[in-house]
Amino acid sequence: MAEKIPLTVGGQAVLEGVMMRGAGKVATAVRVADGHIETEVRDVDSIADRFPILKKPFLRGVVTLGESLVLGLRSLSYSAKMAGEEDEQLSDGELAGTMALAFALAAVLFVAIPTWATRFFHTIFDSPVALNLAEGGLRLAIFLGYLLAISRMDGIYRVFQYHGAEHKTIHAYEGGGPLTVERVQACSRFHPRCGTSFLLIVMLVSIFVFAFLGWPDLLTRVVSRVALLPVVAGISYEFIRLAARSENPVAQLFKMPGLCLQRLTTNPPEDEMVEVAIASLAAVLPEEEKVRMGLSVEHTAEPAQETANEEAAAIAMNS
């Protein structure tokens, strides 16, 4: 009998919890103040299911990135409410505004500042290619410095513990289970499909894509880099997808920087955190997969009334 191939699942750490996506559902499990686990489950489908052309290479990466941002912010808002950080979840309009603000701040921090600061290298060299490479180096340094700084914050440390729990749980599932705390804790907290690895690849790919754009005025440089972000994201997604599935020694070598970077963005989780990650993953698995993973009926949660893809569409309309 052929070995059962696990479903493709992905996740994200949130406040005192974990979000998992797979099998047409997205679930967010949070450890609330009284100690029990509260789980929200929503039906979700991708826009690529309605427009198959978006499943093509270099387009699917852009779709995946956009949908992950929307679903991730929704889950983060839910976790903040459950963890007692907020009185209520953000509305669709507030989520759209949050996404726009986050994108603007990222553009300033990782695009505008590096390309502006590179003007000081004019005293060393004038080559447009060299200046673009120097800008890319500054962007990468800012990115790594940002991760290093936030990794030392107490609140972020716990989020990164849940990040580690998410990775361990996905590893245990992909390894055939069972999904017990002991089995999950024995797995690695580093995963090749991590968003951290994806962002690092985006940084590296952008260095080479932008290297040959010349050196126009500051505004043109900023606009061109923001406009080419979907291209960079599409290339980066294909790269990390190929590397994650390949056992080729060269592919393994290219995975190492992202896995090493996860030493900053994941921390060893507590058993209670692993329980939350297991509950989140169990909520998106079909019944036969739960049985195969040795999960009981207590891990089942009912989907919310409003679907996540409807929310994503509402956010897009309000933006």
Q: Which residues of 178-212 are buried (b: 16+ CB within 10 A; e: fewer)?
A: ebbbebbbebebbbbbbbbbbbbbbbbbbbebbbe
The secondary structure of residue 88, as a DSSP letter, is S
Name every residue whose Cβ is closer than 8 Å to that of residue 21 and which is 6 or more positions away in sequence: 9, 10, 11, 27, 44, 71, 284
CB 212 within 8 A of CB 193: no
* CB of 142 closer than 8 Å to CB of 109: yes
pTM, rounded to two decimals: 0.85
- Report the largest interatomic distance among the alpha carbons of the chain, rounded to a whole angstrom: 68
Q: Which residue type, as a one-letter code, is found at position 311?
A: E
Full pLDDT tens readout for the chain, 319 residues: 345 557 788 899 999 999 999 878 999 999 998 999 999 999 988 888 888 898 899 899 899 888 888 888 899 889 988 877 776 677 778 778 888 898 899 999 999 999 999 989 988 888 999 999 999 999 999 999 999 999 988 889 999 999 999 999 999 999 988 999 999 999 999 998 888 888 999 999 999 999 999 999 999 999 999 999 999 999 998 888 887 777 778 777 778 888 999 999 999 999 999 999 999 999 999 998 899 888 865 555 444 444 444 444 443 333 3
Three-state secondary structure call for residue 68: helix
Residue found by looking up tokens 């889950």 in the block: 75
